[in-house]
Amino acid sequence: MTSKAKINMIRYMILVIAIIVTIMPFLFIIATSLKDFISIMSNKILFSPTLDNYKELFFPGDRIIRNI
C-alpha cells in the first residue's frame, strides 16, 4: 500500500466511526420509543416491541375526558 492509500483508509475509518457515533442516539431514541415503561426502567436489552406509546400519543382516547 502506498502512503496515499493508507491515508485514504484512515480517513475512511474515521468517517465510518463518525457516522456510527452520529446515528447511535437516533437508534437509541427509536428503540426506547418501542419499549414499554417497565422495559425502559429495567434497562432490558432484549424486549418485545410495542406501539402502545404511539397509540397513546396519537389517539389519547378517554384520557381527555377524564381530565375535564
| pTM beyond 0.85, yes or no | no
- Give, in order, the Cα–Cα distances in Å from 67 to each of 20, 37, 55, 63: 43, 22, 18, 6
Which sequence spans correspond to the domains of the chain? 3-67
- Cell numbers for 67: 381530565
Measured CA to CA, the distance from residue 24 to residue 30 in angstroms comes to 10
> What whole-number distance in Å separates Cα of residue 5 and Cα of residue 18?
20
Q: What is the mean pLDDT of residues 11-36?
A: 95
CA distance linking residue 11 with residue 13, whole number of Å: 5
Task: Reply yes or no on whether the pLDDT at 68 is more than 60.
Answer: no
Q: What is the pLDDT of residues 26-47, one digit of tens each?
A: 999 999 999 988 888 887 788 8
